[in-house]
Structures are given as C-alpha cells and as structure tokens.
Amino acid sequence: MSQEALAYEHALRIVLDAGTRLGAEDCLVNACLGRVLAVPVTSAVDLPPFDNSAMDGFALRGDSIVPAGTELQVEGEQAAGDGMAQARTGAWDIMTGARIPDGLDRVIAVEQTERLAPSRVRLLADVIPGQNVRAAGSDVARGENLLDAGTVLQAQHVMLLAALGIAKVSVGVRPRVAVICTGRELVDDPDQALEPGQIRNSNGPFLATRLPLAGAEVVHVETVGDDADAFGSAMRRALDAGARIIVTSGAVSMGRYDFVPQALESLGAQTLFHKVAIRPGKPLLFGCLPGGALLFGLPGNPIAVAVGLRFFVEPVLREMLGLPQETPRRVRLSKPYSKKPRLRFHLKSRLHCDALGRLTVEVLDGQESYRIRPLADANAWAVVPADVDALPAGALVDVYGSGHLEGFLPCESAL
C-alpha cells in the first residue's frame, strides 16, 4: 500500500464505496425524533377531520351575506368534543374547535353579537359564507404527501404525525458504532486527580455525544492504553456489541507508540488508506475488518477527531441511512485567509449576518488541532481546497454545518 497521502476526494470515494444502505425499520412516532424517514408519509385522513369553529361565537347559515342587525333564535349549543348535530334554522352557540352543526356554514364572533334574551341574539356585523370556519382538510387533505423520504424528523413533524393519528413510521436503521480511545495518558474519570503527564479524555465524550446527532447508535465506548493486546480485546468487545463502524482515536501516526496499524493487521483487517492530504487529521486511517465492519483510525488531537468524524464518518453514515451526499453552501469570507498549499483545510468557523442580512463566514483564530475552545465558538466548518493558498475577503468558500443532520444554525449579527 502506498504511503502517499491521498487527495480528500479520492479517500472519500473509497469510504463511500465501502458503505452500504442498511434498510428500514418501523419506529413509534413518540420515539422517532432525529430519525431519517425511509419512505414518504401520505395522509389517510383529512386534517381537520371536520368543519369546526375558529372561535367562540354563533354558527349560522344564509344564502350570501347575513347582514348586521339580523336577529336569530338560538337553537342549540355545540362545544368542543360534541358529536354530529343537525341544525334547522337560527343560530347555534358554539365554542372554539367545536364541530359545525350540519346545515350551518359560518361563525360570527361572540364579541360581534348582542344577546337579547337567553335564546335570542342580534348580529352586530355582516357574516359571509365560510367566515371563521376551519374547513375539513384545509390543513392536510386525504391522500396528500406529508413528508418525503430523507426527512430528518423533528418535533414539528411529530406534532403533525400525531395530529393525523399516525402511530409508526418507517425510518432508516441506525448504523451501530463503537468508540475506542487509545493513550496511556488519558483519564476518563473527571473526579480523578491528574498525575504529571496525564490529560483528560475529551475525544471519547465528544464522539459518544456527537455520533447520535449524526444518526448513529453508539453501542460501545472504551479507553485503552498504548497496548496492542488491550486494543485487540477492545475491538472484539466492540464487534460483539454489534458495531458496524468502529471509530478509534490516537496511535495512527508514525511515533514509537502508534501501534494501531500493526494491531489491525494482526486482527486481519484490510487497510484501504492511511494518510489523507488534509489538515487537521492527515494520518487518518481507514480499513475494513473481517466480517465487513468499517474502521476509522483518527489521530488523537481533538480537532483532528472532529474533522475525521465530520468529513469521513458522517458521509458514510449518510450512505448507510439512504441519504444523498451533502452539498455545501457557498459563503463569502469576512476576512482574507491564507494557508499552506497541497493540503485541504477544514477550518473552525462562524457564520455571521451583516447589517444588510448578507451571510458571511469568519475563520476563527486558533486553528491548531489541539485547541478546543475555538470549536466551542464555531457553528460551521469552512473548507479551503488543497490547490488554493490564499483567498481575499469576499471570496466564496464551501461551508458545512456542525453536523450533517443539523444544517446551519441561525447566524448571529455581525454588528
């Protein structure tokens, strides 16, 4: 295998070719938040299911306009939850959301009436057909397509599905992912005091919380020292947990303790590439384990992990979920930017809106791969191609959101 760093596009193609769609499963609507629809949803009913009143008032009927000054006998009362009623003449006292009695076709607000007696009312305004009536099917018509396949289900979709009485939807099977962090310097327990040379494990918690937002099910998380045998045992536990993807951090570069490439060979894994012409994350490794599980060996620096997840793992998750690959936004740089050539840069960035509402992207200070604080301040990734070394303010760059299922956050004002 060549040790030359692959171009990002070539490496990504290898990753996507290794991913396969996982199929679909039924999911209860009250548990479907964040899941990806596998098939379109069509309504079998009308919403609203019947004509109902938009306000408290009186329901009545007429040939055209019923003029102000008309006096009517109050023939009945209809409250929300009451069933079918047949009206003959006069007016019906009606509450918001109540079914319009058959034979009536309009509602006048109670404030626009005068009660003359317990059973008689005078209109203080003209009333036209359909006024203040929520017609059956005016929100959703029977047979209407509601949601397309590929929709990432959010709370507003749950509201719509619940209103239509849809109990289950077909969603993409979530890829099962395991996380293994390597490094004898790592401390997982936040209450444990650090010894000299130790650091707290930030990659494990980041991956374990980020992956579910990307559509994955995290089935195993573990930290091991710089030990090939311990790593191999952790890999077996990950596979036993059903992982289809294993994401590791650390020990993939060229140092004395970077044992992951050799450990993978002993496990029978096929390394498909090792090194990509990107920054951060150049030593990234990708392979396939016996049985078909995919392995992403990410460098240990936190931002290299974030880039590896966002630009390699998340694209294959999209493939497995049945989603098309992302199309970035083209956004103008707020300031000039320059970099070293021959590497594709993934930059912690922040979207802003100027005083005229135009979207711009700011490349944040602190792009080094160890610096986490700028990532916490970022709401986007700006990408500069390998063959570009300098861009002026106003130049267009590709911009991606923080996560592939999250889209773009509302930009803040740059004022």
Is the pLDDT at 305 greater than 90, yes or no? yes
- Digit-coded pLDDT (tens) for 170-201: 999 999 999 999 999 999 999 999 999 999 99
- Digit-coded pLDDT (tens) for 146-177: 999 999 999 999 999 999 999 999 999 999 99
Query: In this prediction, what percent of the chain has a pLDDT beyond 90?
Result: 92
Average pLDDT score over residue span 59-72: 96
Contact 379/363 with Cβ under 8 angstroms?
no
Write down the pLDDT at residue 407: 72
Q: How confident is the model at residue 410 (pLDDT cuts 50, 70, 90)?
A: low
The single residue listed with the structure tokens 């938009």 is: 54
Q: What is the mean pLDDT of the chain?
A: 95
Average pLDDT score over residue span 100-124: 96
- Digit-coded pLDDT (tens) for 217-251: 999 999 999 999 999 999 999 999 999 999 999 99
Average pLDDT score over residue span 363-380: 97
Write down the pLDDT at residue 2: 45
Is the pLDDT at 365 greater than 90, yes or no? yes
Environment class of 234 (CB within 10 Å of its CB; exposed 0-12, middle 13-18, buried 19+):
buried
Instruction: List residues bridging with 281 in a β-sheet.
Output: none
User: How many residues are given for the chain?
Assistant: 415
Q: How confident is the model at residue 414 (pLDDT cuts 50, 70, 90)?
A: very low
Write down the pLDDT at residue 165: 97
* AA identity, residue 377: D
Q: Spell out the alpha helix ranges (H) of 124-271.
A: 155-163, 203-213, 228-240, 260-266
Is the pLDDT at 1 greater than 50, yes or no? no
Quick one: which of 48, 72, 68 has its CA closest to 58?
72
DSSP, residue by residue, 108-158 = EEGGGEEEEETTEEEESS-B-TTTTEE-TTSSB-TT-EEE-TT-B--HHHH
* CA 114 to each of CA 19, 121, 155, 282: distance values in angstroms, whole numbers, following the listed order: 70, 6, 42, 78
Q: How confident is the model at residue 89 (pLDDT cuts 50, 70, 90)?
A: confident
Q: How confident is the model at residue 412 (pLDDT cuts 50, 70, 90)?
A: low
CA angle, 342 then 345 then 346, to 5°: 160
Query: In this prediction, what percent of the chain has a pLDDT beyond 70?
Result: 97
Is the pLDDT at 32 greater than 70, yes or no? yes
Is the pLDDT at 254 greater than 80, yes or no? no
The model's pTM is 0.90
Beta strand 145-147 pairing with 199-200? unpaired
Is the pLDDT at 125 greater than 70, yes or no? yes
Q: How confident is the model at residue 356 (pLDDT cuts 50, 70, 90)?
A: confident
Is the pLDDT at 411 greater than 60, yes or no? no
Domains of the chain in sequence order: 8-23+173-321 (3.40.980.10), 26-46+143-172 (3.90.105.10), 52-134 (2.170.190.11), 329-413 (2.40.340.10)
